[in-house]
Amino acid sequence: MSTAENLAEKIDYEYLTSKLEELPTLPSIVSEINTVINDPMSTPKDIEDLMLNDQSLTTKVLKLINSAYYSIPGGIDDLGRAIGYLGYDAIYQLVLATSVFQSLKIDGDISFDINEFWKHSIGVAIAAEAIAKQVQYKNPQELFTAGLIHDIGKIAILKVEPELLMDTSMYARKNNLNMREAEEALNTYKHNIVGHIMAEKWKITGVFASVIKYHHTLNPAARVGISPEANLAIDIVMFANLFLHNLSFGDSGHEKKEKVPDELFKRLNIAGDDIPQIANTLKTGLQNAETFLKVIGS
C-alpha cells in the first residue's frame, strides 16, 4: 500500500490546516499595494514608495518587466516608469505572483520536478491571458496571474506532506488519471481545496481565489457564490489548463491528456477554427516561459 493510501485513512483538513499555518505568510507589501490600488486618491508615487521598501521584490519585478516575455523596447529601469507603462493592476499581479512563488519555494531533493511544475503553470498563465484577450475578458493580465497560481494547492501539499503529493502523482501516472481524479481515488486531500485554504491564509480574494478553488469544476451551477466575471475566469483557466496538458508543456504531476469539453468551447464562444490562432499567439509567449521562470525563481 502506498504512502498516499496509508495517510488517506489518518489525515483530515483540520490537521492539514494546522500544518499549513507553519508556512510563510505573504509579504505585507502584497496587501498594502492592493489597498493602494483600490484607493481612487492614490498615485503611482504611492505604489513606488511602497515597493522601494522591499528592494529584493522590486528588483525581481523590474527584471520580469524587462524579460523577453514583455519585450518592452529599450527596457525600463525606473520603477515609476514601469508603473506608468504597465498600470496598477499589472504591477500588483506581478508582486502577488512573485510573492506566492517565493513563499512556496521548495528546498531539498524531491522526486517531483518543481521546475516542470512551474513551467506548466507559467504556460497556463500565458494561455489564459491569450484566451482572455480572445474572448474580450476585461483584464487579461489578471488571468495571467490566476493561471500562474491556480495549482498552488499542490505545492502547499508538497511543502507539508511531500511523500503524499509524490505518491498521488505516481498513482495518477500509473493509472492515466489527472491529479484531481487520483485524489478522489485515494480519498486524500484535493489540491484545489488546499489551494483555497492557502488563498484564505494569504488573503487572496476575488477572481484569483475562485479560480484556485473551482478550476476543476466544469458545471457553473456547482460553483458556490461565484460572480459572472469569476465564472468566466474559471472557464478560461480551465480551458488553458487542458490546452497546455495537450501540448505536454511542463508537468503538473500527471500525464493524462483530455479533450476540452464542448460546453467550454460554447461558453467561451471559441470555435475550432480559433485554435490555430490561439496556438500561434501562444508560440512566442511559451518560448519565453523559461526566461520568466528563471527570473521569478532566482
Q: Tell me the domain boundaries of the chain.
A: 3-23+108-296, 25-103
Mean pLDDT of 195-201: 95
Mean pLDDT of the chain: 89
Over the stretch 51-64, which tens digit does the pLDDT of each residue have? 988 888 888 888 88
pLDDT at 7: 45
Name residues whose C-beta falls within 8 Å of residue 230's C-beta, 6 or more positions apart in sequence. Answer: 206, 207, 210, 211, 223
What is the per-residue pLDDT for 75?
84
Within 13 Å of residue 100, how many CA atoms lie on the same side as its CB? 32
What mean pLDDT do residues 152-171 have?
Answer: 94
DSSP string computed for 178-227: -HHHHHHHHT---HHHHHHHHHHHTT--HHHHHHHHHTT---GGGSTT--
In the predicted model, is pLDDT for residue 135 greater than 80? yes
Per this entry, what is the length of the chain? 298
Band (140; pLDDT cuts 50, 70, 90): very high
Comparing C-alpha atoms, which of 120, 161, 163 is closest to residue 252? 120
pLDDT top residue among 233 and 105: 233
CATH of domain 3-23+108-296: 1.10.3210.10
Residue 1's pLDDT band, with cuts at 50, 70 and 90, is: very low
Span 27-36, mean pLDDT? Answer: 90
Q: Which are the contacts of 145, defined by CB distance < 8 A and separation ≥ 6?
A: 93, 94, 96, 97, 125, 208
Per-residue pLDDT tens over the stretch 66-103: 887 777 888 888 888 888 888 888 888 889 988 998 88
Alpha-carbon distance values, 279 to 62, 104, 130, 274 (Å): 28, 30, 9, 9
Per-residue confidence at 5, pLDDT binned at 50, 70, 90? very low
Chain centroid to Cα 270, Å, comes to: 23
**Cα 24 to Cα 224: distance, rounded to the nearest angstrom:** 29
106 C-beta neighbours (distance < 10 Å), count:
15
- pLDDT over threshold 90, residue 195: yes
Is residue 152 within 8 Å of 195, Cβ to Cβ? yes
Q: Which residue, chain included where needed, has cell 483557466?
A: 237
d(CA 196, CA 202): 10
Measuring CA to CA, which residue among 210, 112, 222 is closest to residue 157? 112
Determine the pLDDT at residue 256: 94
Instruction: Give the percent of the chain with pLDDT over 70.
Output: 95
Among 61-70, 206-215, 263-272, which is the least confidently predicted range? 61-70
Position 149 confidence tier, pLDDT thresholds 50, 70, 90:
very high
Contact 181, 116 (CB under 8 A): no
DSSP 108: S
φ, ψ of residue 135 to 5 degrees: the values are: -100, 10
| DSSP class of 273 | G
Helix (H, G, I), strand (E, B) or coil at 235: helix
